Structure 1
Amino acid sequence: MTDNPFDALGGGFDMNALLQQAQQMQDQLQSAQAQLAEQTVEGSVAGGAVSVTVTGLGDLVGVRVRPGTVDGDSADDLADLGDMIVAAYRDAKSQAESLASGTLGPLAGGGLPGLG
């Protein structure tokens, strides 16, 4: 009898190789996340009246309101501004998710190749 409980599965299952592969995937994931944290995308609404910038991880890092596009003298105008910021963020967040999906690729799916 061997010390490897997976020998009963047949095929010479190598636990050390599996752990090494998992460590490599973890390193790749951390590298991809660091790369995403440095990249930014911009979302905007109303022809650029409001623009927001988010990192590839979806963190909000900037908001710009084009001068002359919003009159902040009434509660309705300010509510509209809030709605535009939310919409611009959703646009940017969608772009960030697409960027992350492309950057993370198969790492985003989790699991290890060949393990169903």
Structure 2
Amino acid sequence: MTENPFGGLMGGGEGGFDMNALLQQAQQMQSDLQQAQAELAETPVEGTVAGGAVSVTVNGVGELLAVNLKVGEFDGSDADQLADLGDMIVAAYRDAKASADAMASARLGPLAGGFGG
């Protein structure tokens, strides 16, 4: 006979579910998920382009926290360089966001899996 995957949730009578155990497990999973999300919101992730000429910092949930430009790399009076700068900021953000997403997936994956995805 195969092992019952709900064995830890079974009550003592008539083979029914122990609803209190099920509710406690769901509450613990929700608490763990909320804690992980809070930790991600506090974790900085950096993205860079052009050898570090432009870097951005996001938190683990992808919110932009800072943009840093290396001194002397850009001429603020040159329209083409400013347009390039805008593109580089976007690229650095995408780099940081991809890293933040990977970190969040690794951290939340096991927890979110308990909720069906």
Q: TM-score, normalising length from structure 2?
A: 0.79
Given that 1:29 and 1:107 are in contact with CA atoms closer than 8 Å, whether structure 2 keeps it comes out as yes
Q: How many residues align?
A: 103
CA RMSD in angstroms, aligned pairs only: 1.7
Contact 1:52 1:64 in 2 (8 A): yes
Deviation, 1:14, is: 2.7
In the alignment, structure 1 residue 32 sits paired with structure 2 residue 7: no
Aligned residue in 1 for 2:77: 73
Match of 1:12 among 16, 39, 47: 16
**By how many angstroms is 1:50 displaced?**
0.2
Mapped pair 1:52 → 2:60: no
Task: Write the mapping of 1:88-107 to structure 2, written as runs, cut at 5 A.
Answer: 88-107=92-111
Tell me if 1:43 matches 2:41.
no
Aligned equivalent of 1:23:
27
* Matched-pair contact (CA < 8 Å) for 1:101–1:108: no
Quick one: percent identity of the two aligned structures?
70
Aligned mates of 1:71, 1:88 — CA distance in 2: 19
Is the contact made by 2:29 and 2:114 (CA closer than 8 Å) also made in structure 1? no
- How many Å apart are 1:59 and its aligned residue? 1.0
Letter aligned with residue 79 of structure 2: A
Q: Structure 1 length normalisation: TM-score?
A: 0.80
